[in-house]
């Protein structure tokens, strides 16, 4: 069978395999990024017009595009509804952007660590990925400038607000500095913001795209983390030089995003009901984050270092001993605990050992401590073997 050369780069997805194993009801899974079932809002369908069953426009539903543009303007992003493209979950933005920018060998600039599925999508299309190390308040500016001076990346892909997996929220200063650097070198920014609304602690930070003056950008978001992922409704907002291409690529990919999900999303966005749902969601997840922080402090204090995430869905642990955490998966699953090894979030996994990503939204607080205790014992056993 003669496949395309890109298929050689199609990795078997570690996430898929872990999530499959984590489906067993007895497994306490810190692996995925799923919303808590209990926080999926009840939705009403009885008012949906029958016209939503017909083919729709590739751009998306006009009213939804307006609502998204209005929210973006409230964040300081100068844009109109004409720049909004509804996509089939923000994962599709990565596919469309890959098609728009990436040939084999095209350089793209990413945080290290970065979102695993973005890395896989860009590599599938043949990108040469350049890493900028993530620090406590955002990417290293020295490394970013150095990379921009020595390379010509087609775009930088950044997740500035509660980054997946590091949970970092870029400071205001970092945001300004990143915007200025991308403008200076005229490099397109893809700013991915699935977690912006899942904020637990004070602090606000305008998107980087709202601080840029010259360079092109794509800003992408989703309702999957705040409303219902099963609707598969996300969006991108793009500068007018990029939009027409992304629209045609969208049409070629799947004609348009399902209209029933778009209609449902439109019922919520900007409504009082949505604001109140978001408040409940933040409260609910804050409690789970605090429960995990307490459990980690008890069981991982001597094993790892981490920052308290101020939003999002994850803790990012750096083990004190540099264990390949992929080797911990099997013993952990043997204890009915699942987690995400940190290595696959890096361009060079084997040079970045000893990180774990732990989701805190899925396991209930009363079971969580036991899961963390078991995981700590798996890590401790491995560290002892390593040290021996």
Question: Nearer Cβ to its own copies, position 224 or 352?
Answer: 224
Least Cβ distance, residue 7 to its own copies (angstroms): 6
Residue with smaller CB distance to its own copies, 106 or 210:
106
> Least distance to its own copies from the beta carbon of 97, Å?
10
Minimum distance of its own copies from residue 29's CB (angstroms):
13
Bond from prior residue into 2 cis (ω within 30 degrees of 0)? no
Shortest approach of its own copies to residue 235 CB, angstroms?
Answer: 13
Q: Which is nearer to its own copies, 243 or 300 (CB)?
A: 243
The contacts of residue 82 (CB under 8 Å, 6+ apart) are: 65, 240, 243
Residue (223 or 379) nearer to its own copies, CB: 223
Q: Dig out the tokens for 377 from the structure.
A: 């014992």
CA distance 386 to 353: 13
CB-nearer residue toward its own copies: 87 or 358: 87
Q: How far is the CB of 115 from its own copies (least distance, A)?
A: 12
The total of other beta-carbon atoms located within 10 Å of residue 329's CB is 20
CA–CA distances in Å: residue 99 to residues 110, 249, 250, 324, 340: 17, 8, 10, 33, 28
Closer to its own copies by Cβ: residue 95 or 138: 95
Is residue 385 exposed (0-12), middle (13-18) or buried (19+ Cβ within 10 Å)?
Answer: exposed
Q: Considering the complex, what minimum distance in angstroms separates the CB of residue 13 from its own copies?
A: 6
Sheet of strand 84-87: strand arrangement: 84-87, 234-238, 217-222, 188-192, 155-158, 107-112, 128-135, 138-139
Min separation Cβ 4 and its own copies, Å: 5
Q: Omega into 165 within 30° of 0, i.e. cis?
A: yes
Contact 31, 365 (CB under 8 A): no
Which CB, 99 or 320, lies closer to its own copies? 99
**5 versus 350: smaller Cβ distance to its own copies:** 5
Rounded to whole angstroms, the Cα distance separating 127 from 109 reads 10
Q: For tokens 């992003």, what's the residue?
A: 77
In the complex, minimum distance from the CB of residue 213 to its own copies, in angstroms, rounded to a whole number = 16
């Amino acid at each position: 069978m003669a496949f395309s050369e890109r298929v050689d780069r199609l990795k078997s997805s570690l996430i898929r395999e872990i999530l499959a194993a984590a489906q067993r009801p007895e497994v306490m899974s810190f692996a995925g990024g799923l919303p808590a079932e209990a926080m999926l809002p009840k939705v009403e369908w009885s008012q949906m017009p029958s016209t939503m069953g017909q083919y729709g426009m590739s751009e998306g539903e006009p009213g939804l595009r307006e609502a998204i543009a209005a929210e973006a303007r409230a964040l300081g992003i100068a844009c109109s509804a004409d720049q909004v493209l509804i996509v089939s979950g923000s994962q599709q933005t990565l596919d469309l952007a890959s098609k728009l920018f990436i040939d084999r060998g095209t350089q793209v600039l990413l945080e290290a660590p970065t979102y695993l599925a973005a890395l896989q999508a860009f590599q599938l299309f043949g990108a040469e990925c350049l890493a900028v190390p993530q620090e406590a308040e955002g990417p290293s500016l020295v490394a970013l400038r150095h990379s921009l001076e020595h390379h010509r990346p087609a775009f930088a892909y950044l997740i500035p607000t509660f980054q997946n997996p590091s949970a970092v929220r870029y400071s205001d200063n970092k945001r300004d500095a990143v915007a200025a650097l991308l403008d200076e070198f005229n490099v397109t920014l893809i700013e991915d913001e699935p977690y912006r609304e899942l904020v637990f602690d004070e602090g606000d930070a305008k998107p980087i795209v709202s601080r840029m003056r010259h360079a092109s950008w794509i800003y992408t978001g989703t309702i999957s983390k705040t409303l219902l992922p099963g609707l598969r409704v996300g969006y991108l907002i793009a500068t007018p030089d990029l939009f027409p291409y992304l629209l045609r690529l969208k049409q070629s990919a799947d004609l348009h995003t399902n209209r029933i999900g778009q209609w449902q999303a439109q019922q919520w966005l900007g409504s009082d009901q949505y604001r109140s749902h978001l408040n409940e969601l933040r409260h609910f997840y804050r409690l789970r984050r605090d429960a995990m922080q307490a459990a980690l402090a008890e069981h991982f204090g001597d094993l790892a270092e981490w920052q308290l995430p101020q939003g999002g869905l994850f803790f990012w642990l750096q083990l004190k001993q540099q264990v390949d955490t992929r080797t911990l998966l099997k013993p952990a699953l043997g204890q009915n605990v699942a987690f995400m090894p940190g290595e696959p979030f890096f361009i060079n996994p084997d040079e970045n050992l000893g990180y774990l990503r732990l989701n805190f939204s899925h396991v209930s607080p009363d079971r969580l401590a036991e899961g963390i205790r078991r995981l700590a014992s798996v890590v401790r056993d491995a560290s002892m073997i390593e040290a021996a």
